[in-house]
Amino acid sequence: MRLADGDIFERDDMTRVRIAAMTIFLSGAVVDTCAAEQLILRGVNVFDVTSGELLVDRAIVIEGDRIVSVSPDAKLKSQVDDTVLNFTGRTVIPGLIDLHSHLLLHPYDEASWNDQVLKESIGLRTLRAVPAMKKTLEAGFTTLRDLGTEGAGYADVALRDAVRAGIVEGPRIFAVTRAIVATGCYGPSGFDPRWSLPKGGQVADGPTEVRRVVREQIAAGADWIKVYADYRRKLGDASTPTFSQEELVAIVDEAKSAGLSVAAHAGTSEAIRRAVLAGVSTIEHGTNASSEVLSLMQEHNVVLCPTLAAAEAMATYRGLIPGEADHPRLVAVRAMFKRALDSGVTIACGSDVGVFSHGDNARELELMVKFGMTPKQALQSATTTAPQVLGRREELGQVATGFLADLVVLESDPSKNITRIRNPILVMKGGRIVHRRTP
């Protein structure tokens, strides 16, 4: 049944109960009564992320948490029992994926990173992450790889599990837990050596110890391992490599033994080179990556998460006027992004959100376009590319049959103008509507 644009027709709960009872009675067995119920989005234009084309006037049929068909709308005959959402002329894209978030952080202009790590309780930080997850969903981001709790222990695992259990609303989370740092190579720093302060990562040195912490983090629920392959030794210093080749190899080997992949924070060419040769899957930031090392990444199928939005946010906190691009940090990042595009390395959306406001993840895609990508490429970086990194290419990142029904309905086509991904009309995660507004 067709209704006015944006209207939602839902059968009443008693009808559902009656059909459920009937299904059980007829089959003589207890079945998933929702399985036969279909939710249909009609009249939509679907952004095909693989071809980059807009498929006009389609019907998307969803059953349970999956998309069961995407077909020309005119050919679809819906049943009276189906729930129909009519969004004629609106654009549907897959749920967006940000591969670099920090749900346990909030913007540094609200509280410095040091203060968050040292003064805020893990309880407070975890509770603050709950509305942050909601804002993330409302922005159309249905999956996050959360790259470190920054001193909040295993709170990301708790968030992930609470979302899975339906206790709180949030995106799918791939958690790295504490992240691994070398002695003297992470904050909080700059204090007199007699103070022993908690760190933003888990300290480990030497091949034996790094293997032990990888095992510890996996046992505590990590889905990914993160290592800081370079960092500054003192505030104001330039970054230098932290872990030796041998240590990085041990980290990747131990993670891979358990079927996990490794993300490396690295901005210097030497740290990137070591991390790539050790077998990491992604490089985070890559701020000063040379063309040679970007080509090495490309040869080894290592993906870059450029975190442009965090660089811009940090520049803003240090006095950049928004819209200007002459802050030295941003100039360097922009030049790196151009080298990355020229090198052919795969680039995924990873924003470092948490440094700036949760729900503002689209800022990364907007900067990607501002710095040289087409809107289609930017969309692909947050849809098809990201699931390849996550090892979930069969079920995430596409509006296609068999994929999880993570969908975002937009007013108009974002492949023409990337800012159109903001303020979705409707967001669905796993076949469930998690956000909707009146268009």
Residues that bind Zn ion (CB under 5 A): 352
Cβ at position 135, least distance to Zn ion in Å = 18
The residue type at 46 = V
d(CA 152, CA 49): 36
Q: Locate tokens 């979302």: which residue?
A: 163
Cβ at position 350, least distance to Zn ion in Å = 8
Name residues whose C-beta falls within 8 Å of residue 345's C-beta, 6 or more positions apart in sequence. Answer: 294, 295, 297, 298, 302, 303, 304
What 3-state DSSP class applies to 181? strand
Comparing CB distances to Zn ion, the nearer of 90 and 102 is: 102
Comparing CB distances to Zn ion, the nearer of 352 and 364 is: 352
Cβ at position 86, least distance to Zn ion in Å = 41
Cβ at position 263, least distance to Zn ion in Å = 9
Comparing CB distances to Zn ion, the nearer of 358 and 435 is: 358
Q: Locate tokens 């603050």: which residue?
A: 128
Comparing CB distances to Zn ion, the nearer of 226 and 429 is: 226
Structure-block tokens of residue 283: 């490089």
Name residues whose C-beta falls within 8 Å of residue 193's C-beta, 6 or more positions apart in sequence. Answer: none
Comparing CB distances to Zn ion, the nearer of 40 and 99 is: 99
Comparing CB distances to Zn ion, the nearer of 352 and 360 is: 352
Comparing CB distances to Zn ion, the nearer of 85 and 310 is: 310
Cβ at position 85, least distance to Zn ion in Å = 36
Cβ at position 352, least distance to Zn ion in Å = 4
Name residues whose C-beta falls within 8 Å of residue 126's C-beta, 6 or more positions apart in sequence. Answer: 104, 152, 155, 158, 159
3-state secondary structure 305-363: ECCHHHHHHHHHHCCCCCCCCCCHHHHHHHHHHHHHHHHCCCECCCCCECCCCCCCCHH
3-state secondary structure 262-292: EEEEECCHHHHHHHHHHCCCEEEECCCCCHH
Counting Cα atoms < 13 Å in the Cβ hemisphere of 418 gives 23
Cβ at position 310, least distance to Zn ion in Å = 7
Comparing CB distances to Zn ion, the nearer of 350 and 424 is: 350
Cβ at position 100, least distance to Zn ion in Å = 6
Comparing CB distances to Zn ion, the nearer of 205 and 352 is: 352
Q: Locate tokens 């709180």: which residue?
A: 168
d(CA 368, CA 348): 10
**What is the number of the residue whose Cβ is closest to Zn ion?**
352
Structure-block tokens of residue 251: 């980290």
Cβ at position 404, least distance to Zn ion in Å = 26
Comparing CB distances to Zn ion, the nearer of 314 and 407 is: 314
Query: Do 146 and 180 form a contact (C-beta atoms < 8 A)?
Result: no
Structure-block tokens of residue 342: 């020229």
Cβ at position 102, least distance to Zn ion in Å = 6
Work out whether the CA dihedral 343, 345, 346, 352 comes out positive or negative: negative
